[in-house]
Amino acid sequence: MGLYLKKKLDNEAEIGIWQISETEEELVALSSTPSDEMEEISFIRSESMRKQRLAVRALLNELFDEKVYLSHHDNGKPYIENNPINISITHTGKYVAVILHDEEDVGIDIESLDRDFSAVEKKALSEEEIEDLEDGKRNEQLAIYWCAKEAIFKLLSVYNLNFAEQIEIERFRLRGEGELEATFIDRNEDEQEFDLEYMTFDRHVLVWVVGA
């Protein structure tokens, strides 16, 4: 399948999604991965993880006119060595997704809805958020809560973030795509508001956030 979606948002961010249907050899050819990164990928024991890394590179080739060099800060946050653009990356076994913005920090997260998210309820949700869950849509709602909090976590790059206590997601109505409102409370109890967007497709949910 290759490039699944390439979309410019109203806030000037750009999102790209790649569906992983190629063999590892095909992804190597499509990705034009630099030799030093290719050597690093070769040490990954999981074929699925290797393909995800290669698919990210293939997707970046679709999003940038020039060849870019992907690297990571010590905290794991990705950056482009030869371009000051802000970037966030996410992946599952079937899809990888990237969000870019020239000025604002960004965060993105994708999950398969075939995963059981019941553990997320106790791990990452507040009592108020748990009360907002609906029995028939519980797993999908939990997936969106998790992706939203992960996206904010990626944007902020804050260590030891307590998802249940420090990120609050306002009640939302589950749709195929929509908007979310969130509040981040730091250790000094200062608050920061975020507007997020989400979409569901092919039994997956994708959530992204740009700036504050």
How high is the pLDDT of residue 75?
A: 84
How high is the pLDDT of residue 89?
A: 98
What is the percent of the chain where pLDDT is above 90? 82
Q: What is the CATH number of domain 2-104?
A: 3.90.470.20
C-alpha of 125 from chain center:
19
Give the residue range(s) of CATH 3.90.470.20 domains in the chain.
2-104
Output the CA torsion sign for 40, 42, 43, 47. Answer: positive
pLDDT tens digits for range 94-115: 999 999 999 999 999 999 999 9
How high is the pLDDT of residue 135?
A: 87
pTM, 2 dp: 0.95
Q: How confident is the model at residue 1 (pLDDT cuts 50, 70, 90)?
A: low
pLDDT tens digits for range 151-205: 999 999 888 899 999 999 999 999 999 999 999 999 889 999 999 999 999 999 9
Distance CA 176, CA 203 (A): 11
Say if residues 169 and 181 touch (Cβ distance below 8 Å).
yes
Q: What is the mean pLDDT of the chain?
A: 94
How high is the pLDDT of residue 36?
A: 84
* 35 or 125, higher pLDDT: 125
pLDDT tens digits for range 45-84: 999 999 999 999 999 999 999 888 898 888 889 999 999 9
